[in-house]
Amino acid sequence: MDAAAPRKMHPNKEAFIEGVDHILAKWTALGLAIEHSWGGHETEEKRDDMVDDIVEFFDNAKQKPEPLDLQDLLLEIMNLDFHVELKDESEKEVAAVLCKLFAECRAGNFTMVDKLAAERDAREALGQGNAAVKMSQAAPRPAGMEVEDSDSDSGSECEDDSDDDMEED
C-alpha cells in the first residue's frame, strides 16, 4: 500500500459526519449567523470547522460523552466564532439530537442520516436552497430540529460504546 494514499474512513464515522452537517444546517440560530455573515468573511469556514469540532468532541470522549459538555461546546463556538449569545436554549436540543445521531451511527444504524438527507433532497428539489449553506453538503434549515425515530430512546444522553466502530481504519 502506498504510504501517501489517504486512509479510508469507517462508514459509521462517515455517516456521522454527514449527519452532523445536516443537523447543523437545520439549526436556525446557526443558519441566521451564516446567512448574515456574523462570523465575518470566514463564516462558512467557521461553520465547517464547527462540524470538525463536534466530530472531534465525540472522537476524544474517553468515556460516555456528556450532553452538558456538548452544549457547552456549542455555546462556546456560537459565541466565539459567530458572536451569537443563545437565549433560546436551542443548544440543548441540538446536543440531544447529535448524541442520538452518534449512538445510532456507532451502532451502524443510518436511519436518521438517511432521513435528513432525504429531507435535504426534497427541499433542494423544491428550490428551497439556502445560499448561506450551499458550500456545505447539508440541507438548508427548516424552522425546527424535529427528527423523529421510534426505534431509539429520547436521545437525551450520549451513548457509550468503547469499541472503535467510528475510528478510521
Instruction: Express each pLDDT in 15-53 by its tens digit.
Output: 999 999 999 999 999 999 999 999 999 999 999 999 999
- For residue 29, the model assigns a pLDDT of 96
* Residue of 138 and 101 predicted with greater confidence: 101
What is the average pLDDT across 163-169? 48
Q: Taking 90 as the threshold, does the pLDDT of residue 152 lie above it?
A: no
Residue 155 has pLDDT above 50, yes or no: no
pLDDT of residue 9: 84
The structural domains of the chain, with segments of one domain joined by +, span 11-133
Q: How many CB atoms lie within 10 A of CB 90?
A: 18
> Is 94 in contact with 74 (CB distance < 8 Å)?
yes
Give the pLDDT score at 157: 55
* pLDDT mean over 105-125: 91
Burial call 110-142: b when 16+ CB within 10 Å, e when fewer: bebbeebbebbeebeeeeeebebbeebebbbbe
- How does residue 125 score in pLDDT terms, banded at 50, 70 and 90? confident
User: Could you report the per-residue pLDDT of 64-91, keeping only the tens digit for each?
Assistant: 787 899 999 999 999 999 999 999 999 9
Confidence tier at 5 by pLDDT (50, 70, 90): low
Taking the C-alpha atoms of residue 65 and residue 89, their distance in angstroms, rounded to an integer, is 19
